[in-house]
Amino acid sequence: MDKMETVKNIIKNNGGIAKTADFVAEGLTNYDVANLCKEGYVDRVRHGYYQLAGQDDIKEEQVLASLLP
């Protein structure tokens, strides 16, 4: 499985928003995540939190729920 497919699965499995730690736990590096963000494959929601690029159906409540422990 390539990195983009891995990222897509991680984000999907985490309700649409994933933390950098989620990516690292699956074998990606911080550098990989930064590159995918620069390439436009993922969007940074907040420091350390990402969603798939162009995913506008994320509700504010969903963002808050993923940011709060």
The answer to whether 63 and 45 have CB atoms below 8 angstroms apart is: yes
Q: Are 45 and 53 in contact (CB under 8 A)?
A: no
Asked if residues 50 and 37 have their Cβ atoms less than 8 Å apart, the reply is yes
Q: CA-CA distance, 57 to 38, in Å (whole number)?
A: 21
Domains, the chain, ranges and CATH? Answer: 3-67 (1.10.10)
For residue 2, what pLDDT is reported? 87
pLDDT at 63: 61
Q: What is the pLDDT of residue 24?
A: 96
Give the predicted TM-score (pTM) of the model.
0.77
- Stated as kind and residue range, the H or E segment containing 15 is none
Answer positive or negative: Cα dihedral of 42, 25, 31, 66: positive
Assign 67 a pLDDT band (cuts: 50, 70, 90).
low
